[in-house]
Amino acid sequence: MARITASVYTSHVPAIGAALDLGKSGEPYWKPVFQGYEYSKQWMQDQKPDVIFLVYNDHATAFSLEMIPTFAIGCAAEFTPADEGWGPRPVPQVIGHPELAAHIAQSVIQDDFDLTIVNRMDVDHGLTVPLSLMCGQPEAWPCPVIPFAVNVVQYPVPNGRRCFNLGKAIRKAVESFDQPLNVQIWGTGGMSHQLQGARAGLINRDWDNAWLDQLIADPEAAAATPHIDYVREAGSEGIELVMWLIARGAMADVNGGPAPTLRHRFYHVPASNTAVGHVILENNV
């Protein structure tokens, strides 16, 4: 059977992708951000998966206010980096895994989670920036990627508990796939930031790190965080953190297994006007 071996959590700030693409990663402002991922790039080479299931949010690229799926799974054979207004990022084409994606969709929908099946979509910085942070600038991404887009842009958005339970259903789906695949699940977005209004530029270091503590050691408590806490404490875009709970819900310990091993934790302010958080957890089964 397939198995989930690790989960990766990271912010997906668009300016990080621009800094990398424009050769600015060594500049004093950006260097601390990229140094926080040096361990991760080596870990990725050492623990290269067969498939990455990557949870992110679309930023009005594949979806608009005309159509807003709460959860959408990419089942195509490949996905093109999106033009978000200044041309597509100079990164490789994203190769999908249609067989596993279709299997996950079948299993998860039968477990009462309504997914939108997408057979054609471009993928924006929400997906490509995490790949760049973890993999650098290769000619091809190291493995197939299944994009899983979550609506955290237009209310109503799914709550943390729903996302956490969805992660459990995804784990069940992966483990019932009849090929011996090593699968990693990534949760992206966040951490605290607000892009508009009177609190534009808000960053809450204390809240971010307390939430990371819970994500790692007490995910049930993190999943119980109400929407208003994200908005009040982490800003209007802090709600993106519910996507990390999908990845955390897919880990062994919340499904009756042993606690995961924390391989890496990183937090930095600022990167653009956003706090950057990053965690790697490995399953011990």
Q: Which residues are catalytic?
A: 125, 193
Which amino acid appears at position 111 of this protein?
D
Sign of CA dihedral 121, 126, 127, 129: positive
Omega prior to 270 cis, within 30 of 0: yes
Omega prior to 92 cis, within 30 of 0: no
Which amino acid appears at position 50 of this protein?
D
